[in-house]
Amino acid sequence: MANLNVNTWYIDSAGWTAVAAWAASPTAYTCGNLVRQLATPAVGNERVFVCAVAGTSGASEPSWTLTRYGPTTTGSATLYECTGNPAVNGDLTNAITWALQHASSTAVTVGLIIYDSVTASLQIVTTAGTIGSSVPSFSATAGTVTSDGATVKWTSLGLASTFQYWKAPLARFQTAFATSFAGAGATVYIGSDHAETQAAAMTVTLPTALTAITSTYCVDHTANLPPTSSNLATTAKITTTGANAMTLAGYQCWYCYGVTFSCGSGATNAVLNIGSTSNEYWRFDSCAFIKAGTTGTASAITVNAANYIDFNNTTFTFGSTTDSLYFNGSLIRWKNTASAIGGSTLPAILFNHQGGSATGIFVVEGVDLSAITGTLVPASPETVQWFQFRNCKFGSGVTVAAIPTGALASSIVDVIFSDSTGTTYQQQRWRYAGSSIPSTTVVRTGGASTNGTPISWKIATSANSVWLSPFEEPPTWLYNGTTGSNVTVTLYGIWFGSALPNNDQIWHDVEYMGSSGSPIASLGSGTKANNLASGVAWASDTSAWDAAATARANSTVYAVGNIFKQSGSPGSLFIVTAIGSSPHQSAASPPAGYTSAADGAVITDGNLTVQAGYRFAMTVTLSAPQPQLAGYLYSYVKAALASTTFYIDPLIVL
């Protein structure tokens, strides 16, 4: 049979409309004439036909053959389906040639169009069969029939130059991936003036291919073909209206550039589904996804990824403040996007969680999310997910996340260098066992800093934190060049508990290279040996933690949890643990108890009860085995005492 796997296709709704409509008798058609249906065809049935047997049209519009290459007789003329084919759209580079067809299959059916470079003409099969062993002598004169092999007849459609750019395109994106059209590995170009709309649900099923990526590009519809990188555009739009959903489904690999997908209109909650449970890798560059209906739904735009979906410079727009971006899959990555949320209707919760059993990772990197002023990630996931915000821009006052709750509470939200201002010290985490955010006011003198800003990690455990399942910080690291001897790794902290903390309440584990034969990790732990063992207190420390804290003020209203410093006890920090009757003020002058107050000291200050924090050092000695290779070691801080706050300086000291 004919080689149906044309690898390049053209779509342009405006171009299809511009094709001359079929006309009734006495209209003469000559070889090479292009026509489309006269009566408005059903959605997806829009076709272009090329005349291969000249004649006069019939009195009434024929029943068109819509299958690939299919013939239709109208009066004495015969026309063949040719929609989207590169040859009749002016792209000779990607047209099938006789040699290509021979290499693919020597059996051909009627309707196959090839380009003959010798005569610079297009030829169409009008009698099926098996082609010969050598290229026949084609004619550039339209209507000339050339024999090939025992039975095949080719009819000349005339000079290829008469078939101008975008003169026989597909009208709809969905049609391009119908049976016998664009197959796995095909390249599909969409004209920049393409504006496809349908008042019905749309499901586009991409072809199956694990090793071949099917590509879709929006390109300038006025440019020469085939398009080049300079012709890329971002104005093609595919739309459903009313309460009609849109689903981009299919399998394996797909790339899409510059297309806007818009779903629904009016007071509806029609959803836009991206991906399926079987896709391997999808990537969208400079695309846009719009859920336009004004009735809110948490699954407004649902992203399904059995493996990997990549959004690059791609925006999302919503029709209701109660809309959200739902996700369900293994790995979804959104990156490199300015003004990432389009329109003026902004979701109160941007990311939501898809029900079901799917788990995955959602990486948001280099994305401007500053339009969102509500919440990015809610506290109650329906599945286990790991969010990572890297180098993103947030809105001022936005709630990034909360400690996960619910039956499936193993989700993680990480923030890395993402903020609403020009800071570079943000490292945040939310887990079932607690949360961590940076502090710039409770910091250790000589400790960690980022671009000159001293910081510490403020770790707040939840009621669910226990030794077997503690809150765990992302790692901090330092290069270690000492090998063959013990290395002591120390982190410093402060807390406002009743005594120095034990090593089963807060500790750090150190991962290092303890083998000379490979970089396999060894682990040094600062905690107790097992859950049945008892913890021991960490050593006290005298580091100064008051450099950035607010100084205590006389006759000032304070609340429980307020932290300040006092000049009478340099290096220490104090926290308000209780308040008496209103107005909850400090004394008119500093009580004597502040002078050289020991860690843990309790002071009555006006009607406030104040306690000095306990400063401590967490030391891990790497001795069994000793480090054997120079390289980075990683420290993982873990907190297991429920409902407690610790401040940890993340600067490793060796």
* Residues 184, 625: Cα–Cα separation, whole Å: 54
The residue written with tokens 């991206």 in the block is 274
The larger pLDDT score, comparing residue 53 to residue 407, is at: 53
Q: Give me the amino acid identity at 73.
A: T
Asked if residues 53 and 80 have their Cβ atoms less than 8 Å apart, the reply is no
Strand 55-56, strand 28-29: pairing: antiparallel
pLDDT at res. 440:
98
- CA torsion angle 574 578 579 585 (round to 10): 0
pLDDT band at 277 (very low <50, low <70, confident <90, very high): low
The larger pLDDT score, comparing residue 330 to residue 358, is at: 330
Q: What percent of the chain has pLDDT over 90?
A: 86
Mean predicted confidence (pLDDT) in 520-544:
97
* Residues 37, 60: Cα–Cα separation, whole Å: 12
Buried b (16+ CB within 10 A) or exposed e, 269-283: bbbbbbbbeebbbbb
Mean predicted confidence (pLDDT) in 337-356:
88
Cα within 13 Å of Cα(80), Cβ side? 22
pLDDT in tens, 559-576: 999 999 999 999 999 999
pLDDT band at 327 (very low <50, low <70, confident <90, very high): confident
User: Does 604 score more than 80 pLDDT?
Assistant: yes
Cα 578 versus chain centre, distance:
47
pLDDT at res. 355:
54
* Residues 358, 295: Cα–Cα separation, whole Å: 26
pLDDT at res. 5:
56
pLDDT at res. 2:
41
CA neighbor of 359 nearest in space, from 403, 281, 307: 307
Cα 429 versus chain centre, distance:
20
Mean predicted confidence (pLDDT) in 131-141:
97
Asked if residues 556 and 589 have their Cβ atoms less than 8 Å apart, the reply is no
Show the beta-strand stretches assigned E in 152-213.
152-159, 187-191, 195-198, 202-206
* Residues 364, 382: Cα–Cα separation, whole Å: 20
User: Does 209 score more than 70 pLDDT?
Assistant: no
CA neighbor of 337 nearest in space, from 369, 309, 313: 313
Across all residues in the chain, what is the average pLDDT?
Answer: 94
Sheet of 71-74: strand order equals 34-36, 48-53, 77-81, 71-74
pLDDT at res. 1:
36
pLDDT at res. 3:
45
User: Does 178 score more than 70 pLDDT?
Assistant: yes
* Residues 235, 339: Cα–Cα separation, whole Å: 17
Asked if residues 208 and 252 have their Cβ atoms less than 8 Å apart, the reply is yes
Structure token pair of residue 351: 């990311």
DSSP state of 587: P
β-bridge partners, 634: 477, 511
Cα within 13 Å of Cα(631), Cβ side? 17
* Residues 460, 641: Cα–Cα separation, whole Å: 10
Helix or strand or coil: residue 355? Answer: coil
User: Does 29 score more than 70 pLDDT?
Assistant: yes
Buried b (16+ CB within 10 A) or exposed e, 349-388: bbbbbbeeebbbbbbbbbbbbbbbeebbbbbebbbbbbbb
User: Does 505 score more than 50 pLDDT?
Assistant: yes
The residue written with tokens 């694990």 in the block is 210
The larger pLDDT score, comparing residue 249 to residue 79, is at: 79
* Max CA distance (Å), the chain: 113
CA neighbor of 644 nearest in space, from 518, 467, 516: 467
Cα 141 versus chain centre, distance:
53
Three-state SS sequence of 481-546: CCCCCCEEEEEEEEECCCCCCECCCEEEEEEEECCCCCCCEEEEECCCCCCCCCCCECEECCCCCC
* Residues 321, 298: Cα–Cα separation, whole Å: 10
pLDDT band at 453 (very low <50, low <70, confident <90, very high): very high
pLDDT at res. 253:
87
pLDDT in tens, 363-382: 999 999 999 999 999 877 55
Cα within 13 Å of Cα(349), Cβ side? 18
Structure token pair of residue 594: 């502040």
What ranges in 285-374 are assigned the alpha helix state H? Answer: none
β-bridge partners, 630: none
Mean predicted confidence (pLDDT) in 388-417:
88
* Residues 42, 23: Cα–Cα separation, whole Å: 19
Q: How far apart are the first and last CA of the chain?
A: 74
pLDDT in tens, 237-276: 999 999 999 999 876 789 999 999 999 999 999 999 998 7
Structure token pair of residue 2: 């004919």
Cα within 13 Å of Cα(380), Cβ side? 2
